Amino acid sequence: MSVIVNDILVDISHRRGENGVPAGNERTRRIGFISQGYKDLIRQNDFWFLVKTYATSTTSGQEIYDLPSDFKKMFEVRVDRVLRVPQSDNIAFSVTQYPPISYPFSINYFNSRYYYIYGDEIHLLPYPSSTPSAISVSSIVVSGTTATVTCTTEHGLSNNDYVQIAGASTSECNGSKRVTVSTSLIFTYEVASGTSSPTGTITATWNNFTMRYNYIPTTKFTAITDIVDIPDRFEDALSAYVFGRLAQLDGERGDAADGFNEYNEIVSDMNRENFSRANIDTPLSESIF
């Protein structure tokens, strides 16, 4: 997704037969309409393109962890690569003993893995029993958009694990990174083009706790360079919405109806694609339920 506000403004001007994007108050008004249209759009569904992964590390004996600030809806929770099963907070709180040892947690409780969400926190039951250790990194060499990490001891990672890099002199090399494993001592991850190889006392720590969730995007835009979280092929939904709003203000009822009808048609297409992406048949033998 690489849509910016100006892309939508240009399309609106083309629809209205204008020579270019207006400046001043008129531009501000149109940007405000883009914000309104986008808010309306994301209220329609929990769209597939508004999903991200957050990775962190567990602490031994700690049950409660903060949810990301932009959290909306959980799709998947894994600890030590093992899937956790969701339970409602009402069920968790209704058991006779806490941590719960009765239904639905009683069956193989210490071999089962659950989570529930209460407010802006997630509870892991049973709580994790380990804290991943930091591994010393002997070097990070960047070539193009690939950072190659060499560890001083075996890292124990698998492909697509997340790892927290800290202490690198180049900020782009730090943070939680999704890795590809090369050997027991070497793994790689992606960095931005132009990143230089860092120095420093660098460590790598396995982010063994991952959450895949639907997030709340930015919905208030003020500048033409603001990024709009929407696939390129669906950006016409917002330009159609704004076209309809402007025509409505100008008393052009036919053009307004055309704009809103197009907006609704594109949103319907998005909802259908969202449904098709979620409606994947799973063999009963592979179901966790």
Mean pLDDT of 255-279: 93
**Pairwise CA distance, residues 261 & 271, whole Å:** 15
Rounded to two decimals, the pTM is 0.83
pLDDT digits (tens, 9 = 90+) for 13-36: 999 999 999 999 999 999 999 999
Whether residue 94 is predicted with pLDDT greater than 80 in this model: the reply is no
| Domains identified in the chain and CATH numbers | 5-47+218-276 (no CATH), 58-130 (no CATH), 135-207 (2.40.30.180)
Whether residue 196 is predicted with pLDDT greater than 70 in this model: the reply is yes
Mean pLDDT of 163-170: 96
Mean pLDDT of all residues belonging to the chain: 90
Q: In what order do the strands lie in the sheet with 121-125?
A: 64-66, 121-125, 114-118, 85-86
> What pLDDT is recorded for position 285?
42
Mean pLDDT of 215-239: 96
pLDDT digits (tens, 9 = 90+) for 47-56: 999 999 999 9
Query: Count of residues for the chain?
Result: 289
> What pLDDT is recorded for position 89?
78
Whether residue 108 is predicted with pLDDT greater than 90 in this model: the reply is no
Whether residue 9 is predicted with pLDDT greater than 60 in this model: the reply is yes
- pLDDT band at 112; cut points 50, 70, 90: low
> What pLDDT is recorded for position 28?
96
Whether residue 286 is predicted with pLDDT greater than 60 in this model: the reply is no
**Pairwise CA distance, residues 12 & 242, whole Å:** 7
* Among the listed residues 213, 269, 278, the one whose alpha carbon sits nearest the alpha carbon of residue 41: 269
